[in-house]
Amino acid sequence: MDLEEAKEFKERCTQCAAVSWGLTDEGKYYCTSCHNVTERSKEVINTGAIPNTKIQAINRGLKRKRKLEKGWDWYVCEGFQQILYQQAEALKTLGVGPKLKDEVLHNFWKRYLQKSKQAYCKNPVYTRGRKATVLEDNPSHSDWDSEPDLLSDFSCPSFVESGPDSQLDSRTQKPFPISKASQSASICSGSLDGVKYSQQKEKGIVKMTVPRTLAFCYLSLLWQRETITLSDLLRFVEEGHIPYINAFQHFPEEMKLYGRDKGIFAIESWPAYEDIYKKMIEIAKFLDLPRFPDITEDCYLHPDILCMKYLMEVNLPDEMNDLTYQVVKMTGIGEVDFLTFDPIAKMAKTVKYDIQAVAVIVIVLKLLFLLDDNLEWTLSNIAEKYNEKNKEDKPWFDFRKWYQVMKKSVDEKKQKWEEARAKYVWKSEKPLYHSSIDRAVVYKRREMVVSLQKQFSALTDSAPTVEKKSPSSFQFNWTEGDSAGTCFHGHSLQGILKKKGQSLTTKNSLYWLSTQKFCRSYCKHVTTYEESNFSLSYQFIINLFSFLLRIKASSLHEEVSLIEKRLFKRKYSKTQKKSRSRKRRKY
């Protein structure tokens, strides 16, 4: 009907020169081909003289503001889909196979929409079956069409989301920005269901959040058994290789975000390991996923391989691989059933592959050096003397020297990391605001910040302040045979092992447990980590690895304790008769 009334306006559009006008709710003409809104309104043309010109001016001001808020009709879940799409693309550029995006993540997401009754089901939450097409390269991908029974019922108006929406006619399905629905929705959010979404608290439904997009990514990586661990994924996010913070910036121009969308899509924290891990299990359970593909010995996530990787990363001798291999074998943490994620199992859990591998290395270091701030230095003295005398031979591993090299490089890395974090640009170029009243203020503030920033960046060198690192699963780089002699990969463990019959045994025959007694009370803490209770070497090792994985030191300590519990099962079953457990170990 709007189009009918607008027929009398025959001027050409200033933007696209078309003569195709519609009327907005305020009675202004807008161009239906380019959505340019004119300053002229129907009343002005018809009546000619409006007594109070002030009203007109105010009206015009309002108009201009509203024009910018209009965009496509879109739903919150489409926003998340957009983010997932970007993340999947980023993973692809990181070298992950294309299957991850097109099959795995796509299916997980479809399943999520179905489970959360947003699409692909008989009674979707939204009346209008708007096809979620952003994830696909080709909007009319066969996948969507091949499952008609899953798709929502277009013509079924039985479920309406809110009052004004019930009057929707078929016209709103056109890719046409101005509809009554969008106008009523635009009061509090750019998306159609932003307000409703943020209030929604349905039991049993896992609501989508931005951190959960990463859980989706990780689930897909795990399904594909890709060579990216959770800590790697989160590090790539922090380094900006995977869109996360301000991911909404790259939404299509027409997807406007404001109001409640801000609370849904704006993120001011980096993802935390424990949090994403938790969310991942939660989503896998919610999606009712079957058992994941087996993690076998040739998978990257298998502790043997990860141990090898982390030994290289922290510059420890390759010979330690034998020991990690044995610990993995003895504790049974390398078995397929243990490693494979099965969300349907009674107590769904998955292994924190990276933390576990690192914990194994910590245990091996404890076996070799005891790490009591004493034995490791004694052994270092012996190795140092040996190395001085036998310069030609393969050098013995000198813990002290290794400590010095690592301490220095970790401290430098940490410093750089902290500086880079401090310089992190959080705020998007596209600021989000709560309501149209805020809009001008928010944009002005943004402008001001940009102009101030320009001033200060003029003072700094032309070089970018934070150089972007190219993504790598290694954070340190140790090359054999460099002049400084800082690479320990080729060093031998001879000074620390001794022959006993056929096998080699560690010279050190003592061991201390990271946790004597596990907490069994309702707090569900397995153990606690009070740094000062432990030796300095142990603290250093724990801090080194937890920095590498960007996790809390306590999580690693806990993992070490849990593996020790498996390793020294007998000791624990004797119910801690002695306060300090000592044990002989043979290999």
Partner 1 sequence: MSDFSEELIESKTEDDQEESYVFSGTGMSFPWLQNHIGTIATGGKKEKDFAQTTSACLSFIQEALLKHQWQQAAEYMHSYLQILEDSDSHKRQAAPEIIWKLGSEILFYHPKSNMETFNTFADRMKNIGVMNYLKISLQHALYLVHHGMLEDANRNLSHAETWRYGEKSSSQEVLINLIQAYKGLLQYYTWSKKKLELSTLDEDDYAYNAASQSMLNHSCKTSVNLGALIQTPGVWDPFVKSYVEMLEFYGDRDGAREVLTNYAYDEKFPSNPNAHVYLYNFLKREKAPREKLISVLKILYQIVPSHKLMLEFHSLLRKSEKEDHRKLGLEVLFGVLDFAGCTKNITAWKYLAKYLRQILMGNHLAWVQEEWNSRKNWWPDFHFSSFWAKNDWKEDKTLACEKALVAGILLGKGCRYFRFISKQDDEVLRKKIKRIKKSVENHSIVNPGL
H or E segment at 384?
helix 375-389
Least distance to partner 1, CB of residue 230, Å:
13
- Rounded distance between C-alpha atoms, residue 86 and residue 347, angstroms: 32
Nearer residue to partner 1 within complex by CB, 29 or 341: 341
Phi, psi (degrees; rounded to nearest 5) at 246: 60, 30
Per the structure block, which two tokens stand in for 511? 């061991």
CB neighbour class for 209 (10 Å; exposed up to 12, middle 13-18, buried from 19): middle
Least distance to partner 1, CB of residue 572, Å:
10
Stretch of residues binding partner 1 (CB under 8 A), selected from 1-9, 199-207, 345-353, 573-581: 345-353
Least distance to partner 1, CB of residue 515, Å:
11
**x-or-dash string of contact with partner 1, 203-222, rule CB under 8 A:** --------------------
Least distance to partner 1, CB of residue 520, Å:
8
Stretch of residues binding partner 1 (CB under 8 A), selected from 171-179, 246-254, 374-382, 559-567: 559-567
| Three-state secondary structure readout of 105-166 | HHHHHHHHHHHCCCCCCCCCCCCCCCCCCCCCCCCCCHHHHCCCCCCCCCCCCCCCCCCHHH
Site for partner 1 in 250-279 (CB under 8 A): 268-270, 272, 274-275, 277-278
Residue keyed to tokens 């142990």 = 538
Per the structure block, which two tokens stand in for 282? 């939660």
List all residues 6 or more positions away from 582 whose beta carbon is below 8 Å from its beta carbon.
510, 511, 512
Nearer residue to partner 1 within complex by CB, 205 or 442: 442
Work out whether 347 is an interface residue with partner 1 (CB under 8 A): yes
State which of residues 74, 397, 558, 567 lies at the interface with partner 1 (CB under 8 A): 558
Work out whether 334 is an interface residue with partner 1 (CB under 8 A): no
**x-or-dash string of contact with partner 1, 281-320, rule CB under 8 A:** x---------------------------------------
- Count of residues engaged in binding partner 1, rule: CB under 8 A: 52
Buried b (16+ CB within 10 A) or exposed e, 84-119: bbbbbebbeebebeeebbbebbbebbbbbbbbbbbb
State which of residues 516, 554, 576, 581 lies at the interface with partner 1 (CB under 8 A): 554
Nearer residue to partner 1 within complex by CB, 249 or 457: 457
Residue 202, CA distances (Å) to 3, 116, 117, 382 in order: 41, 10, 11, 65
Q: Is residue 280 within 8 Å of residue 219, measured between CB atoms?
A: yes
Residue 209, CA distances (Å) to 110, 197, 263, 419 in order: 16, 11, 10, 29
Least distance to partner 1, CB of residue 402, Å:
25
Nearer residue to partner 1 within complex by CB, 157 or 263: 263
State which of residues 10, 203, 499, 524 lies at the interface with partner 1 (CB under 8 A): 524
The number of helices, as runs of H, and strands, as runs of E, in the chain is 23, 5
Nearer residue to partner 1 within complex by CB, 268 or 480: 268
Least distance to partner 1, CB of residue 331, Å:
10
List all residues 6 or more positions away from 404 whose beta carbon is below 8 Å from its beta carbon.
none
Stretch of residues binding partner 1 (CB under 8 A), selected from 119-127, 210-218, 314-322, 415-423: 415-423
Nearer residue to partner 1 within complex by CB, 34 or 345: 345
List all residues 6 or more positions away from 162 whose beta carbon is below 8 Å from its beta carbon.
184, 196
Nearer residue to partner 1 within complex by CB, 155 or 455: 455
Three-state DSSP class for residue 53? helix
Instruction: Supply the Cα-derived Rg of the chain in whole angstroms.
Output: 31
Least distance to partner 1, CB of residue 219, Å:
16
Nearer residue to partner 1 within complex by CB, 122 or 349: 349
Work out whether 418 is an interface residue with partner 1 (CB under 8 A): yes
**x-or-dash string of contact with partner 1, 420-459, rule CB under 8 A:** -xxxxxxx---x----------x--xx-xx-xxx-xxxxx
| Beta pairing, strands 28-31 & 37-41 | antiparallel
Nearer residue to partner 1 within complex by CB, 137 or 274: 274
> Is the Cα torsion angle 113, 118, 119, 124 positive or negative in sign?
positive
Nearer residue to partner 1 within complex by CB, 375 or 410: 410
Nearer residue to partner 1 within complex by CB, 133 or 428: 428
First to last CA, the chain: 86
Nearer residue to partner 1 within complex by CB, 278 or 574: 278
What is the DSSP secondary structure assignment for residue 255, as one 8-state letter? S
| Beta pairing, strands 503-506 & 497-500 | antiparallel
Phi, psi (degrees; rounded to nearest 5) at 23: -110, 135
**x-or-dash string of contact with partner 1, 483-502, rule CB under 8 A:** --------------------
Site for partner 1 in 370-399 (CB under 8 A): none
Least distance to partner 1, CB of residue 208, Å:
20
Nearer residue to partner 1 within complex by CB, 48 or 204: 204
List all residues 6 or more positions away from 124 whose beta carbon is below 8 Å from its beta carbon.
117, 118, 152, 153, 159
Stretch of residues binding partner 1 (CB under 8 A), selected from 29-37, 102-110, 135-143, 416-424: 416-424
Least distance to partner 1, CB of residue 453, Å:
5
Stretch of residues binding partner 1 (CB under 8 A), selected from 17-25, 291-299, 485-493, 558-566: 558-566
Least distance to partner 1, CB of residue 215, Å:
14
**x-or-dash string of contact with partner 1, 61-100, rule CB under 8 A:** ----------------------------------------
Per the structure block, which two tokens stand in for 140? 């009319």
Name the H helices within 202-343. 210-224, 230-238, 260-265, 273-286, 303-313, 320-331, 336-339
**x-or-dash string of contact with partner 1, 218-247, rule CB under 8 A:** ------------------------------
Per the structure block, which two tokens stand in for 201? 């608290």
Residues contributing to the site for partner 1 (CB under 8 A):
268-270, 272, 274-275, 277-278, 281, 337-338, 345, 347-349, 418-419, 421-427, 431, 442, 445-446, 448-449, 451-453, 455-461, 465, 518, 523-526, 552, 554, 558, 562, 565-566
